[in-house]
Amino acid sequence: MGTSIKDDKSVTDDVITNAEPPVFAPDQFNPRYEAKRKEIWAYYSYGVANNGLGLFNFAPTAFQNLLYIAAGEDEMLLFAGQMRSIEEIVLLCNGISCAINVVLFLAIGSLADFGNWRPFILMFWTVAAFGISLAWLGVHEASKWEAATGLYIVGLIIYQMCLSFWTAAFPGLARNTPEMRETASKYASGEIDRETYDHEDMMQRNRISNISFTVQSAVEILILAVIVGIMFGVHVNDGQEQNNRGLSILIAFAGGIWVLVAIPWFIFEKRRPGQPLPPNTNVFTAGLLQLWTAGREIVQLKQSLLYLFGYFLLSDSLNTTVTVIGTLQNTIVAYNTLTLTYVLLVGIAAQLAGIYGYWAIQKHFQLSTKTMFTAVMVGIILLDGWGFVGIFTQKFGFHHLWEIWAYQAYYGLFVCPWYAYSQTMISEVTPRGREFLFFSLFGCFGKVSAFIGPIVSSAIIHRTPNNSSTPFYFLFSLTIASAFMLIFFLDLKKSRKEQALFLAKQGEKLIHRSL
């Protein structure tokens, strides 16, 4: 790029006003990489694969169930050097898995933006997911609770790695749809302005993100219907042993589904090229260099940093909230596999309605990603508020079976859109061509936050052993604080200007390095 980088404001004005190349995806005008319907539906198919039913839903229940049986009447086990409650152990294991995720994201996350080999990262973790799912078939007795601990931790790590590397692909898909490529051509020729281009870009990213989670929810309902049949086939209601074995079978079944429906994405994904390697680097040193550069220069992206910090706090709150409610739920339904599946069916059906409903409203009224994300944050505040009230009364606050049914419906309708819109928000504050690096950074910070929340909550429970709702002191406050910051201080228009300036500076530095 020939623009001088002496004056930040002049660079920003030049990049924004005169339609410099950084506003486009690097591959956006190459017909080879146009995202056809087959590829987009293959992407949706992988979303079905990585639905979380096995490693994120049934594995935690199986793990907690074995802990409960092994602990006996006092519900305490020796873990990490001292006697701990079941809730404490689950939260600590979540923290351990998240800490390991951080290391993995730092090690390989930034590499995925270079060259053509990044799809193999997702392939590796997908095969690992299948292996860990099958391993649960040998772990369904209380005496093996320590092995279950290992499977649970590793399973969470694998699930999050797959989720991050799958999700990071959607901005590239959206920017190569026929609609978006036509919009880019109009913008390049001067037929439309930057604001129109950015709005269409935003809507395409939201469309793919929301439809992928909608399709995932719809197919999950069918999978759960099959699972109900499997449970009757293995007679999970005939006793504790059958119930335990049934949970392990369900995890393995979900792993088989994962591999089966992941295959189309690996076949039909167009291997869009990543960034070229910087001079004097290889695929390993380039990733480390990019990570170092991003960490050092992300301060230029003030709005990206603001969302990163808010995402850090809100992810912490929501992830820990779901874990705490999950432990309360499992206790209330006495780990009955059939009841848990029926409850989950309600939750997934509500999730389908919620995610598609939010997208339909956004599409009809042409609302911004920030507006939809704000609505989701309000839903999370109300969820934590309900749990907070449960600290002081047994009448409600996740203490009764009817509340578990209501929670699943509410969570699906008003909270699950978080999983679509939080990812689209990451793409809103990510410079083009840096998607995998920034999604890894956000994944890394999300995992750090998910490490802190469980540790703090387990410490609270340890000090108040007779009240499992006390973590909501921390969670309710954290949700309100993070939502307030994101609602009133995050400005996506400023973020787009900062991204353009960032890319202009990076282009200038690359030219200087090659001279």
pLDDT digits (tens, 9 = 90+) for 116-134: 667 888 999 999 999 999 9
**In-domain check, residue 464:** yes
Domain count, the chain: 1
With 50 as the cut, is the pLDDT of residue 488 above it?
yes
Nearest to 151 by CA among 55, 83, 57: 55
For residue 416, what are the domain limits? 40-514
CA of 338: how far to CAs of 70, 222, 250, 411, in Å? 21, 15, 11, 20
Q: DSSP characters for 379-431?
A: HHHHHHHHHHHTTT-SSSSS-SHHHHHHHHHHIIIIITHHHHHHHHHHHHTS-
Average pLDDT along the chain: 86
In a domain, 3, yes or no: no
**Which has more pLDDT, 33 or 291?**
33
- The secondary structure of 246-279 as a DSSP string is HHHHHHHHHHHHHHHHHHHHHHH------BPPPT
117-121, 211-215, 337-341, 366-370: range with lowest mean pLDDT: 117-121
* Predicted pLDDT of residue 81: 85
Contact assessment for residue 17 and residue 25, using Cβ atoms and an 8 Å cutoff: no
User: Rounded CA gap, 380 and 375, in Å?
Assistant: 9
What are residue 77's phi and psi, to 5 degrees?
-135, 150
User: Which pTM does this prediction carry?
Assistant: 0.82
Percent of the chain surpassing pLDDT 90: 52
Q: Mutual orientation of helices 369-389 and 302-332 as an angle, nearest 10°?
A: 40
C-alpha torsion sign, points 155, 59, 149, 81: positive
In the block, which residue shows the tokens 């999730």? 351
Rounded to whole angstroms, the Cα distance separating 171 from 274 reads 13
In terms of Cβ atoms closer than 10 Å to its own Cβ (0-12, 13-18, 19+), residue 339 is middle
228 occurs within a structural domain: yes
**pLDDT at residue number 87:** 81
Q: What's the pLDDT band for 390 if we cut at 50, 70, 90?
A: very high
Please work out, in degrees rounded to the nearest 5, the angle formed at the alpha carbon of residue 174 by the alpha carbons of 255 and 489: 95
Q: Can you tell me which residue has the tokens 């302005």?
A: 193
Residue 21 pLDDT > 50? no
Tokens 């999050």 map to which residue? 160
Range with the poorest average pLDDT among 327-331, 465-469, 504-508 = 504-508
pLDDT value of residue 3: 39
Q: What are the structure tokens assigned to 282, written together?
A: 């290889």
pLDDT at 458 over 80: no
**Residue 18 forms part of a structural domain:** no
| Predicted local distance difference test score (pLDDT) of residue 25 | 60
15 belongs to a structural domain? no
Position 158 scores a pLDDT of 95
29, part of any domain: no
Stretch among 37-41, 73-77, 445-449, 504-508 having the lowest mean pLDDT: 445-449
Tell me the average pLDDT across 418-432.
90
Q: What is the pLDDT of residue 8?
A: 43
Answer yes or no: are the C-beta atoms of 382 and 413 closer than 8 Å: no
Compute the average pLDDT of residues 20-34.
Answer: 69
Domain assignment present for residue 212? The answer is yes
What is the chain's percent helix, strand, coil content, to nearest 5? 80, 0, 20
pLDDT above 80: residue 148: yes
pLDDT for residue 27 is more than 70: no
- Angle (nearest 5°) at CA 41 between 369 and 58: 80
Strand locations in 50-113 (E): 76-79, 82-85
Q: 3-class SS at 213?
A: helix
Do the domain assignments include residue 25?
A: no
CATH of the domain at 393: 1.20.1250.20
3-state secondary structure labels for all residues of 123-175? HHHHHHHHHHHHHHHHCCCHHHHHHHHHHHHHHHHHHHHHHHHHHCCHHHHHC
**For residue 282, how many C-alpha atoms fall within 13 Å in the half-sphere facing its CB?**
1
What integer pLDDT is reported at residue 319 of this predicted model? Answer: 85
Q: What is the mean pLDDT of residues 370-387?
A: 97
Using CB atoms within 10 A of its CB, is residue 9 exposed (0-12), middle (13-18) or buried (19+)? exposed
- Rg of the chain on CA atoms, in Å: 23
Mean pLDDT over residues 256-285, rounded?
Answer: 84
Position 112 confidence tier, pLDDT thresholds 50, 70, 90 = low
Least confident of 219-228, 337-346, 356-365: 337-346
| Over residues 286-300, mean pLDDT | 71
